[in-house]
Amino acid sequence: MKNNQFAIAPTDHETRVAELQRIRLLQPDELTTLTPNELWTKLLLRIHIADHSQALDHEWLNSLLATPDLSITDWLSQSQPMTNEVFYLVALQILQFEPAIDFSIHAPIDGMNKIQLPMEQHEQWTNNDIIDAFYLLLNTRTKLGQNLLDRLTSQGMFTWTYSLPASEKPLYFNGKPIASFDPDRFIREVVYVETDMDTDYDGMADLVKVEIMRPADTNNGLKVPAVFTASPYNQGTNDKWGEEITHNVNVPLTHKDPHYQSPNEPDFPMSYQKHQVNGESQTASESFSSTPAYTLNTYLSVRGYAIVYASGIGTKNSDGLQTCGSPEQTDSMKAVVEWLHGDRRAFTDRTSGIEIHATWCNGNVGMTGRSYLGTLATAVATTGVPGLKAIVSEAAISNWYDYYRENGLVMAPGGFQGEDADVLAAETFSRTKSPADYRRIEKTNNKYMKGIEAAEDRLTGNYNGFWSHRNYIPNVDNIKCDVMMVHGLNDWNVKPVNVKNLYDSLQEMPNTSKLILHQGQHIYINAFRSLDFSEMINLWFANKLWDLDNNADEILPDVLVQDNVQPETWRTYTNWSGNHSTTLFLTDNALTPTEPNSVSAVEFDDHQDDKTYHAWCDQQSEWAKALLNDMDGKFSAHFVGTPLDQDWVLRGTPTLKVRVASSADHGLISARLVDRGRAKRLTISPVILAKDGLELAYHFGKDDLREFELQKQFTDAKVISYGHINLQNRHDASTVDDLKANQFVDVELPLQPVFHTLKAGHQLELIIYATDYEMTLRGNEAISYQIAPEHCQLIIPNN
């Protein structure tokens, strides 16, 4: 087990003393009246809150080892001076590490180093040293995936802070608010924010439902920031409907007419009525008991951040239709930020006209969430809305064309063949969950759904007006807030190109931007044992939302990347891409650094026999395996580099240049980059170390503690990047080029960005093929492709 902490704020001795006193772990006179051992014992007993008697205190000290052979009580009775070994042997036990498993009782300092726990060692320990080391210990993570302070919090140590006056909150420790807000007294209320649109054609401005959970202290004058998660899923989903309208992908690609214009998407009314205001209320009329929660938000809630969820237009109890990423959906979420910031109207319900204000909010808003949720955080940020100070954009789409299309091709998010914008709109249109409301809107919605199905244009796969409305990248220069991006390098659902484009655009802006790349797929990382992500967000939000001057931007790394070889290893960088690149040439099944002379052409056949075709359609993973093993090039062309002499770190967006001909007047080229080499790789998904093992507060909220581990079995290869392009979109995704059968054309195909270490002994492999059973249309046409290798290049960015 290895610990990685980035949220510990450097702190001087005086601050440590003051903060320990503030959280009542230290009394002012103790620094002068006690010996170091007495002070240490006092601190130890103060953090053991289960015991309320001397007998139990004694038993506890007698249950822990101070040396390999003496318990703490036995060791104390010998009146020896404190040593590094004693302090850290006890520290390891306090941090829940286990002798023989995590460390040796005979070498605690080695254990601390091996686990990567911070230490302060001394020749002779003074009281100040005890204080400093103990302070650091409180900020050090236990084996259970939370720092010691948070573990003590989850044991109830700081419930006394609940009753502190609002004026003394939040209570900060090491630059972060601690859990001083009583979750049993949270106020849960619902308001309806009025938007500037009428997407359900009823003549009235759409209202959107907002669910708020805020500390009771906000009723006593405390103003708190809001952490807002925009989730179209939160009011329920229509999974069966989505399945039913999922598109058939077993259809052929066709020749595109360069003059074809895809239909426009439906317009919404320009004029509509605002809701009449009939009065104002200080209190909400509607409450709720629970709503699907992001556990990071739950962690933050007891630390004083108000937590806000809204599902936006087209969801249960809101007006409007589901537009899948349109500017209207963005604006419906922006409206929530505006209300929180005091710039927009909300009502206590949808009919009475009674207004209600977010008087409890300090006007600072952060947004969080993964996938669609993170997408909307990004989208709202690109509006530059006042009040939005920071977003944590996780696994977020930055351009819906990069989600459902690619270079003139219909492209599935990994695992969701046949999904498209209209399908997602249907799945999230939760007004179905209010059956009478749905009966009234059903026809309007069905008509609108037909409109977006046409406008998304699966016929050509081209970039058009529909997609440009759903591309947030051109508006990045409007962003006024700071941005933390989190993305999985193995996310085949929201592919890494989404975060790469956002990251690159932000590098030209003055805003703070932070990037975390992990080895997962489409997941949250806040319950990882090896990384203090929740503490990082708490530190960062303390700065952005509580306006605490804690140097968060300087403390947190700009780019943090999880290693793909060593488990539990996170490295810091200053940017994503390396400064150099390597050009590789294609020759007889090989990748070479030197330009080859003449190379014979390569041909492969995209057509499969019926049985194989149906089997691969049913089990796409079987196709993916077959592709990796198709070394004789039946339906793909393989180019393999020589085994590496040393590790090679690939960083950034690889580019493939190909000269290719299709035997038909249409066609596509796909490519995969493969890390070829036998190794025990990280698990695809994090392993659950302890179900509900992470307590987010005292008796309030739990999460499953997780971590990537090395797989038990060796594997021979891993796909690290890929790309696809329609041979009729050689210039760009919106421009159709002509194509004739057997005409050689040059295409330049950017592959998914990477940050990957190819181990010494491994080989880089390029696979060029056509139909991608996991992502593209698959019509199983009788088409063959010819590659002219001497006109192909693979450019790999690296250190």
CB 647 within 8 Å of CB 388: no
State how far the Cα of 389 lies from the Cα of 422, in Å rounded to an integer: 32
Minimum distance between the CB of residue 238 and a copy of itself, rounded to whole angstroms? 8
Binding of residue 409 to a copy of itself (CB under 8 A): no
Minimum distance between the CB of residue 193 and a copy of itself, rounded to whole angstroms? 16
Binding of residue 106 to a copy of itself (CB under 8 A): no
State how far the Cα of 627 lies from the Cα of 127, in Å rounded to an integer: 65
Phi, psi of 705 (to 5 degrees): -75, 130
DSSP code string of 250-301: -S---PPPTT--PPPPPP--S--BPPPP-EE-SS-SB--S-----HHHHHHH
Binding of residue 614 to a copy of itself (CB under 8 A): no
**Which of 13, 450, 678, 699 touches a copy of itself (CB under 8 A)?**
699
**Which of 698, 708, 773, 785 touches a copy of itself (CB under 8 A)?**
698
Please pick, among 311, 318, 326, 371, the residue that the annotation labels catalytic: 371
DSSP code string of 112-177: HHHHT------SS--HHHHHHHHHHHHTSB-TTSSBHHHHHHHTTTTGGGGGS-GGG-SPEETTEE
Active site residue 371: yes
Minimum distance between the CB of residue 595 and a copy of itself, rounded to whole angstroms? 45
Which of these ranges, 7-15, 62-70, 215-223, 260-268, lies near a copy of itself under the rule CB under 8 A? 62-70
Binding of residue 98 to a copy of itself (CB under 8 A): yes
State how far the Cα of 740 lies from the Cα of 729, in Å rounded to an integer: 13
DSSP code string of 66-78: SSSS-BHHHHHHT
Phi, psi of 402 (to 5 degrees): -75, -5
Binding of residue 363 to a copy of itself (CB under 8 A): no
DSSP code at position 446 = H
Minimum distance between the CB of residue 392 and a copy of itself, rounded to whole angstroms? 22
State how far the Cα of 799 lies from the Cα of 651, in Å rounded to an integer: 7
Active site residue 522: yes
**Which of 22, 58, 114, 571 touches a copy of itself (CB under 8 A)?**
58
Our CB check for a copy of itself shows the closer of 189 and 217 to be: 189
**Which of 38, 202, 355, 437 touches a copy of itself (CB under 8 A)?**
437
Our CB check for a copy of itself shows the closer of 432 and 662 to be: 432
Binding of residue 443 to a copy of itself (CB under 8 A): no
State how far the Cα of 189 lies from the Cα of 361, in Å rounded to an integer: 14
Binding of residue 72 to a copy of itself (CB under 8 A): yes
Binding of residue 110 to a copy of itself (CB under 8 A): no
**Which of 83, 146, 154, 534 touches a copy of itself (CB under 8 A)?**
154
Site for a copy of itself in 300-319 (CB under 8 A): 317
State how far the Cα of 337 lies from the Cα of 363, in Å rounded to an integer: 9
Which of these ranges, 148-156, 253-261, 447-455, 751-759, lies near a copy of itself under the rule CB under 8 A? 148-156
Q: Please state, as a whole number, how many other Cβ atoms lie within 10 Å of the Cβ of residue 645.
A: 8
Binding of residue 101 to a copy of itself (CB under 8 A): yes
Minimum distance between the CB of residue 189 and a copy of itself, rounded to whole angstroms? 10
Our CB check for a copy of itself shows the closer of 99 and 384 to be: 99
State how far the Cα of 694 lies from the Cα of 289, in Å rounded to an integer: 22
CB 631 within 8 Å of CB 588: no
3-class DSSP state for residue 620?
helix
Q: Which residues contact 371 (CB under 8 A, 6 or more apart)?
A: 394, 395, 396, 397, 493, 494, 522
Which of these ranges, 434-442, 454-462, 486-494, 736-744, lies near a copy of itself under the rule CB under 8 A? 434-442
Minimum distance between the CB of residue 271 and a copy of itself, rounded to whole angstroms? 25
**Which of 28, 29, 50, 163 touches a copy of itself (CB under 8 A)?**
50
Please pick, among 247, 341, 487, 522, the residue that the annotation labels catalytic: 522
Binding of residue 155 to a copy of itself (CB under 8 A): yes
Site for a copy of itself in 168-227 (CB under 8 A): 184, 190
Which of these ranges, 10-18, 219-227, 349-357, 600-608, lies near a copy of itself under the rule CB under 8 A? 349-357
Structure tokens at 692: 């509900």
Which of these ranges, 26-34, 66-74, 550-558, 773-781, lies near a copy of itself under the rule CB under 8 A? 66-74
Nearest to 385 by CA among 324, 347, 344, 325: 344
Minimum distance between the CB of residue 413 and a copy of itself, rounded to whole angstroms? 20
Binding of residue 415 to a copy of itself (CB under 8 A): no
Site string for a copy of itself, 266-295 (x = CB under 8 A): -------------------xxxxxx-----
CB 338 within 8 Å of CB 385: yes
Structure tokens at 448: 């609108």
Q: Which residues contact 548 (CB under 8 A, 6 or more apart)?
A: 172, 175, 542
Our CB check for a copy of itself shows the closer of 183 and 789 to be: 183
State how far the Cα of 75 lies from the Cα of 66, in Å rounded to an integer: 6
Residues labelled catalytic: 371, 491, 522
Binding residues (CB under 8 A) for a copy of itself: these are: 49-53, 55-56, 58-59, 62-65, 68-72, 74, 93, 98-101, 105, 154-156, 184, 190, 240-241, 285-290, 317, 348-352, 354, 432-439, 695, 698-700
